[in-house]
Structure 1
Amino acid sequence: MANMVQPNIPKLMTTNYGNWSIQMKVLLGSYDNWDIVESGFIEPADAAAEVALPNAEKTALKESRKKDKKALYTIFQGVDESTFEKISVAKMAKEAWEILQKSFQGVEKVKKVRLQVLRGEFENIKMKASENIGEYATLLKTVTNEMKTNGESLDDVRVMEKLLRSLTRKFDYVVTSIEESKDLSTISIDDLVGSLQAHEQRMNQYDDTSHLEKAFYECRSPKVEKMSHFAAAKEDKDVGTAMFLTYKGDEESKKNVWYLDSGTSNHMTSHKDLFMEIDETISGEVTFGDSSKIPVKGKGTITIVLKNGEKKFINDVYHIPALKSNIISLGQLVEKGYYIQM
């Protein structure tokens, strides 16, 4: 007669009692023993009472005891050593199960509170301008894995949808392309991250030294206006105290005109629509020599259009809505290692 192969008995871990209890119910049910754990059975008051039972009830009592011992043994096998100490005094399976429920009730409450916090973090998390795709994807995976550990049912499609809708603005056209061309249910998270990283690398190619130098060479710039004023930026968040050389002419500058300035310490523009991405939490103000002040409303990456229609990118540009001219800081370029010949 062949030996019966018993299913693997799940081991109880304090971090997933809920999952363990579900698996144990299924396992005990497969042995036809869950009813004895859930409802228990009544033992006779003493030996004399047992002897007095009708034969049919004696047979039923014997069968209940047998089922109960099997169920109790299965529960014992499914816990670690420290947990076994809590239920080793139990004489019946129902008693052992109730001890476990009470013991881990507090743990489950803590997990529910933690899960609520993680759900809020999952909904609010967004990619920062300083992060790359790999770093942000790792952070998002960390949060989602912890949610799953605390009992959240979170499928990969939902995680990928969250990833796509929380990227920075420079990925907008990439996200649109992916949403139109890919069925997220047919790809993995790693496939999606790999695709985004490939797009990111192509975008970064346009931000290297050679491309940017070419961009400045081709960028249209009329003769620099002579009237200028030094201005100091009041420090707030990332806007440090610095001297700016900027222009306060009355005429409206064209959007694609950029002045190359050897006096200003930062790139600046008034055109918000030029920004691919912008951190609007960065603020401050610029004070001119005549004591007038204009506010800084953010900092980010902008696009410029060359004579041939090609677009290039410039990082660390301040958004100053009241500015009359677009300014390229030669000093900032020198700090980044560019060579400038006037």
Structure 2
Amino acid sequence: MTTKRAEVLLGSGNYFHWAYNMRMTLARKGLLAHVQDVKAEGDITEAWLVNDAKALGIIAQGVELQHQTKIRSATRAIQAWGTLREFYNRTTLHNRVTMTRRLHEFKMDDGASMSKHLDAFDELVVGLQTIGEPVDEARQLVVKEKLLKEYERLEKKDTTTERAFKVNAGRFKGSKGNGRKWDGPKKNAGDFRGKCFKGNQPGHMKRDCPVRNAGGDDDAVFTVGTERLNGWLIDSGATAHMTSHRSDLLEYEALDTTMEVTIADGKKLTVAGRGTVRLLGLDQNRTKMVDVLHIPGLDRRLLSVGKLAERGLNVEFQRSSCVIWGNASAIALGKKIGKAYM
């Protein structure tokens, strides 16, 4: 018969949660007394020793491997229990200060659920109570209310990001219109041997000129967000998708090597990492943007026309609007305001 490992393993920061679960496990097996009372030598029986060994085994299997060295010399369950309690439950001034600071600085972490944060908070409260620093109900409510507000803020931010491509689909059911669309040079452009009348460069005609199709010195930019700097802007000059917001990115990967990008004003910004962004389109399907660069200090979110083209998406510029097309349907719509598409 094999002994089932504990569901909660003792690590570096979960002693109080682990201790409660371990007591319940030992109680269920009728072994709780082996970590509560010191048995007099004259009262020890062979049956008691067998049960004590079982209790010791359960405790040892409930500790992460790297922490088992602390109890390796223990021969009785109560010895192992006392060693772990003394190590993780020090009632020193330093421990009190550290845990109190954690309480005051407790906040939401990106990517974690609300229930996980509440469990971590309750663990901290129990720990403070154990070392003689009980947290009154009012203070607990204040911290939990702060957590709830922070959670709602993060949820709202995620929703705004997902809806950055969501506009009125009814406006673009039908033909693609007669706007200007840049799919790259025509396939037969390489057969032309003369010079372009627009850019005065050999190898292509005026209709295929990158200078002409770039729309002059002004990059074609538009956003479908609710605010100018909070939405995603399509930039014909950007070489990659970019964002300054770490919370926008899924499947995040920090970069080990130094990489820099130069923005419009000539300033160089360091790339911190990259990840994936999923945006909600007109057809209610999520469009996945990969290799989005995380650049702290960037003042807006950018989607690269070149990267969109690599994904098989076409950008069509019209007189007063701009559309991103998929295979046969519009994915996103921008509106022209001044020289930019907003």
- Fold conserved between structures, TM > 0.5: no
Q: If you compute each CA radius of gyration, which structure gives the higher value, 1 or 2?
A: 1
State the TM-score, normalizing by the size of structure 2: 0.35
* TM-score (structure 1 length as normaliser): 0.35
